[in-house]
Amino acid sequence: MSSSSVLEEIRRAEEFLVVGKGVRRIDALDKVTGRARFTGDFVLKDALHVRLVKSPIPHGRIIEIDAERALSLGPVRFFTAADIPGENQVGYALPDQPLLPADKVRYVGEPVALVAAPDEDLAEKAAELVEVRYEELPAVFDPLEAMERSDVLVHEDRGTNIAEMTRVRKGNVERGFEESDVVVENTYRTGHQEHAPLETEGAVAIPDTQGGVTVIASIQYPHLCQRITARVLGLPHSMVRVVQPYVGGGFGGKDDMGPVVSAMAALVAFKTGKPAVLVYSRRDSFTSTCKRDPSVVRYKTGATRDGRLKAIEVQIILDSGAYANRGPYVLWRATMHAGGPYEVPNAKVDGFLVYTNKVFEGSFRGFGNPQVQFAAESQLDELAERLGMDPLEIRLKNLLRPGSRTITDQLLESSVGIYEAVKLLGEKTGFRAKWREYRRERAGRVRRGIGIACGYHGISTSRGVPDWSNATVILGRDGSVTVETGICEIGQGSWTAHAQIAAEVLGVPVERVKVVGGTSDAPDTGATHASRGSSIGGIGVYVAARRLRERLADAAARLLECDPSDVEIREGRAFRRDNPDDYVEWEELVQAAYGMGYEMSATGYFFLPKGKFDMERGLGYAYPAFSYIANVAEVEVDLETGKVRVVRVWPALAAGRILNPVLVEGQIEGAIAQGMGYALTEELKFEDGRILNPNFTDYLIPTSLDVPEVEEPIYVEDLYEYGPFGAKGVGEMALIPTPAAIMNAVKNATGVRITEIPATPEKVYFALRRAGVVAGE
C-alpha cells in the first residue's frame, strides 16, 4: 500500500480514539514536579564554564586580542578564530557569518573570543579582562540608508549592503490600478522582537573517547546542529552527537542559535578535552542572539467600487542586521505572503534584505509574515473605510477559497477554510454591530474598539523546496512503543502529538508510547520550524507505525485464525472484527510476532511532493498548503496616556485536523500574547547600534495582568491530504494577524491609523495628538 493512499484512508476516517482528543501531555509530570532537566542542569564534574568576550563597538577591525591579564588569573583558557580547527563559518543562507570573527566585528555584542575556567566567577572575571584593540569603522544602522550607501559596507566582499532581493510579478499592476476606483497607499514599520525564551540559549559539550563530541543543547534541529558543529571542528558529521534535553521555549530563535552556541561549547570541549558549559546570560540573550527582522513596508492597494481587490504594489525592506542568517528565506516568505489570504489578480512585490551594523536577525514565529500581514491587513481596513464598507464585508468579498490562486499564481485546490472561518467568527463576535456602535460612540477618555485581521501561512519550506519526514518506531518485547524523531519538543507539544499518532495507528493507549526526539541519533527529520513539527514531522511516525500495524495484523490473523483484513487492533487488544471476544492482548501479540520472525521496528520516510517555482518572476508553487487564521480583537484606548489595553481576542483557525485541542489552544493563547507584546510593548531600543534595554525591566514582555481574555477558538477542519490525519501547522498562526487586529481595533476606537509597531503609549498618544483627537499642550 502506498503511503499516500494510507494517508487518504485515515484522512477519511471519522472516528478516532486518541487523535483530536485533549490527551495529556506526555511530559507534564516531569514538568510539574520540577524533574524536567534543561541544558544548564547538565553541569558535569570538572566542567569548564564558558563566557563570551563581546564587541563593544558596532563596526571595526580587530587589531589585537590580548588575554595576558585574563590568563594570569588562574586556570583560564582562551579561544579565538585562530583556534578553530575546521571551517570558521556558521552562516545559514549565505556563507557570511564566522563563529568568531577573525578580522572585523559587525555589531555591538558580537562574540570575538571565548574564555573558559573551572568556576563561573573566574570565567566571568577573565572575560572582562580580555583586551581587544579595534580600529573603528564608520557604521550604518538604518536599512534605508544602508541600501543606498556603498562607502560603508557591512560585508566589503559583497560590494553592497543588499544581501538579497526577491520579487513577485503577477498580472499587470498598471492595468490593475487603472481599473481601480480607489487606491490606498501607506508605509508601515515594525520593530525588532526578542524571543525572550525564559530559558536562555545554552549548550553543554562533552568530549568522547573516540575524538568526537556529544552536545546537549537548547535547539530546534539536532541534525543542523550536528552539521555546523562538525564543520567548525573539522570532523565527520558522525563524530558529533546532538541531544536535546527539555527546551525552555524556542519560538524560532533556538533554531538559529542552537548550532552557534553548540559549536562554541564544542570548540572548548574539543580543544581542552573537558566538558564545557556555555549558558547565555539574559544580557547575552538580548545582545547576542538573533531577533525578528524589523521592516519597512510600502504598500499600495487598488480596488473597485464594489470592494474587489484589483492590484497591489508592495516594497518590503527587512533589516537583517550584521549577517544574513535566515534573512533570504524570511524575505521570500514575506514576499510570497504579501497579498494576505485574498484573491489579488495583479501583484508586484519587491523585497530587499539589508545589512546594518546591528545584532543579526533570524527565525521568529511567523518568519517574515507578521510584518507583511500587519501592512496588508491595515491596508484592507483603510480601503474599506474609503469605500464605506465594514471590515468584515471587504474581507468576505476577497478571501481565498478552494479554486483560488495566490499572488504567486499557485492554484489552491482544496484545504482552504478561511472563508468559512471568517464568516463564523463574524457571527460569533457580533462584529458588525459592535464595530458600528464603537465607531458611532467615540466619546470619553477611554474608547473601545473592535478589529479583525486575517492571516495565512504556508506550511513547510518555501518556493517548492522539497520537504520530507522521517521517523523510526520500535516495538519492545514487552509491548512498549518507542518513537524516534529529530523533531524537538520546545514546549509546543509535538512529542505528545507524535505519541497520539503512533497510538492511534497501532491501537494502543498513549501511555505505552515513549518519544525519543530532538537527537541526531534519530533519522534527520528536518527542523522544528515552519509549523511543521507535528504536521510534517508526524507523517514519518504515521508511515512507520502503519508498517508495524500491517505486520501485527498479519501475526494476529495467524493467532486468531482469520484473514488479516478481519483483524481489529484497538485499546491494546487485537480481535476479530466479527467476534470481539476472540482476542489477544497487545503484549502477547507483540511477543508472538517477534517469535514468528516479524521485524518489530520500522522507519517511515516520506518525501513531500511539491511543484515548480520560477524565481525570476516569483511565480509558481510556493507551499504545499496554507494554514489560515483570523483574529478579532477588542481594545480600550486611554486617550490621556495612549495606553492600549487588549480586552478580548476571538481566534478562528483553519489548520486542518486539530490533533489535540488542548495543545492547539495553548499555542493560540501563547501566540496571541506574544503577538500583543510585539504590537504594543516590546520595543528594543538602540543607540549607535547598542541595545539600551537588554533586560526584562525595560523590554516588556506581557505579564499575567497584560494578556487579554482569549475566547475558545473556532476550528474549521479543512483537511490536508499530506498532513497526518489531515493536520496542517498551528504553532505560528495566531501571532500573525494579532498586530493588525489590534491596530484595526484602535482605529475603530479612535479614528486614528497607527502604522508603526510597537505602538507604545507614547507613540499612540502622539499619533492621537497629531490627528487632533486629543488636544496638545
Partner 1 sequence: MRAGGGGIVVRFTLNGREVEVTTRPNATLLDLLRNELKILSVRRGCETGECGMCTVLVDGLPVRSCLMLAPQVDGRSVTTVEGVGDPERLHPVQEAFVEAGAVQCGFCTPAMVLTAKALLDRDPNPDERTVKEAILGVLCRCTGYAKIVRAVRLAAERVAGGVRE
Pick from 15, 34, 64, 581 the residue near partner 1 by CB under 8 A. 34
Pick from 97, 371, 631, 674 the residue near partner 1 by CB under 8 A. 674
- Tell me which residues in 698-717 interact with partner 1 (CB under 8 A): 701-705, 707, 709-710
Return the closest-CA partner of residue 432 out of 402, 378, 396.
396
Indicate whether 491 belongs to the interface with ligand FES (CB under 6 A).
yes
Helix H, strand E, coil C: the string for 307-335 is CCEEEEEEEEEEEEECCCCCHHHHHHHHH
Q: How far is Cα 36 from Cα 219, in angstroms, rounded to an integer?
A: 16
**Residue 579 β-bridge partners:** 576
| 121 backbone dihedrals φ, ψ, rounded to 5° | -65, -40
Binding site partner of 433, from partner 1, ligand FES, none, Cβ cut-off 5-8 A by kind: none
Closest distance to partner 1 from the beta carbon of 365 (Å): 11
Nearer Cβ to partner 1 (601/693): 693
Q: Is the peptide bond before 737 cis (omega within 30 degrees of 0)?
A: no
Residues in the chain: 777
Return the closest-CA partner of residue 253 out of 192, 205, 297, 204.
192
- Tell me which residues in 171-200 interact with partner 1 (CB under 8 A): 195-200
The x, y and z cell numbers of residue 767, run together, are 499619533
Q: How far is Cα 214 from Cα 308, in angstroms, rounded to an integer?
A: 57
The x, y and z cell numbers of residue 571, run together, are 485499546
Question: In Å, how far are 372, 638, 646, 698, 700 from 681, measured between CA atoms?
Answer: 19, 15, 12, 10, 6
Amino acid 355 reads: Y
Residue-by-residue DSSP string for 346-374: EEEEEEEEEE-SS--B---TTTTHHHHHH
Binding site partner of 32, from partner 1, ligand FES, none, Cβ cut-off 5-8 A by kind: partner 1
Residues 6+ apart with CB under 8 A from 414: 402, 718, 720, 721
Q: How far is Cα 316 from Cα 335, in angstroms, rounded to an integer?
A: 7
Closest distance to partner 1 from the beta carbon of 491 (Å): 3
Question: In Å, how far are 488, 545, 575, 592, 595 from 572, measured between CA atoms?
Answer: 27, 14, 10, 15, 19
Binding site partner of 637, from partner 1, ligand FES, none, Cβ cut-off 5-8 A by kind: none
> Site for partner 1 (CB under 8 A): how many residues?
57
203-229 burial, b for 16+ CB within 10 Å, e for fewer?
Answer: bbbbbeeeebbbbbbbbbbbbbbbbbb
Q: What is the largest CA-CA distance in the chain?
A: 90
Closest distance to ligand FES from the beta carbon of 531 (Å): 18
Indicate whether 25 belongs to the interface with partner 1 (CB under 8 A).
yes
Nearer Cβ to partner 1 (24/436): 24
Residues 6+ apart with CB under 8 A from 15: none
Closest distance to ligand FES from the beta carbon of 248 (Å): 6
Binding mask 367-386 for partner 1 (x = CB under 8 A): --------------------
Closest distance to partner 1 from the beta carbon of 708 (Å): 9
Binding mask 179-218 for ligand FES (x = CB under 6 A): -------------------x--------------------
Pick from 4, 8, 9, 28 the residue near partner 1 by CB under 8 A. 28
Nearer Cβ to partner 1 (2/704): 704
Binding site partner of 411, from partner 1, ligand FES, none, Cβ cut-off 5-8 A by kind: none
Q: What angle do helix axes 535-560 and 3-12 make, rounded to 10 degrees?
A: 90
Q: How far is Cα 124 from Cα 700, in angstroms, rounded to an integer?
A: 27
Nearer Cβ to ligand FES (43/198): 198
Nearer Cβ to partner 1 (619/710): 710
Determine the interface stretch with partner 1 among 340-348, 579-587, 692-700, 755-763 (rule: CB under 8 A).
Answer: 692-700
Nearer Cβ to partner 1 (325/674): 674
For strands 625-638 and 446-459, give the pairing. Answer: antiparallel
For 706-752, list the strands marked E by DSSP: 709-710, 714-715
Closest distance to partner 1 from the beta carbon of 38 (Å): 7
Indicate whether 27 belongs to the interface with partner 1 (CB under 8 A).
yes
Indicate whether 246 belongs to the interface with partner 1 (CB under 8 A).
yes
Closest distance to partner 1 from the beta carbon of 155 (Å): 33
**Residue 709 β-bridge partners:** 648
3-state secondary structure at position 225: helix
Binding site partner of 24, from ligand FES, partner 1, none, Cβ cut-off 5-8 A by kind: partner 1
Indicate whether 32 belongs to the interface with ligand FES (CB under 6 A).
no
Closest distance to ligand FES from the beta carbon of 515 (Å): 18
| 232 backbone dihedrals φ, ψ, rounded to 5° | -65, -40
Nearer Cβ to partner 1 (30/688): 30
Indicate whether 31 belongs to the interface with partner 1 (CB under 8 A).
yes
Residue-by-residue DSSP string for 403-465: T-B-TT--B--S---HHHHHHHHHHHHTHHHHHHHHHHH--SSEEEEEEEEEEEEEESSSTT-
Binding site partner of 247, from ligand FES, partner 1, none, Cβ cut-off 5-8 A by kind: partner 1
Indicate whether 24 belongs to the interface with partner 1 (CB under 8 A).
yes
Closest distance to partner 1 from the beta carbon of 489 (Å): 8
- Tell me which residues in 488-517 interact with partner 1 (CB under 8 A): 490-493
Determine the interface stretch with partner 1 among 3-11, 578-586, 691-699, 759-767 (rule: CB under 8 A).
Answer: 691-699
Pick from 86, 118, 171, 249 the residue near ligand FES by CB under 6 A. 249
> Site for ligand FES (CB under 6 A): how many residues?
3
Q: Which helix (H) or strand (E) holds 642?
A: none
Determine the interface stretch with partner 1 among 24-32, 122-130, 137-145, 208-216 (rule: CB under 8 A).
Answer: 24-32
Return the closest-CA partner of residue 317 out of 485, 537, 500, 161.
161
Indicate whether 564 belongs to the interface with ligand FES (CB under 6 A).
no
Indicate whether 509 belongs to the interface with ligand FES (CB under 6 A).
no
Neighbours of 440 (CB within 10 A): 8
Which residue number places its CB atom closest to ligand FES? 198
Closest distance to partner 1 from the beta carbon of 28 (Å): 4
Contact residues: partner 1, CB under 8 A: 22, 24-25, 27-38, 40-41, 195-200, 246-251, 279, 281-282, 490-493, 662-663, 665-666, 669-674, 695-697, 701-705, 707, 709-710
Contact residues: ligand FES, CB under 6 A: 198, 249, 491
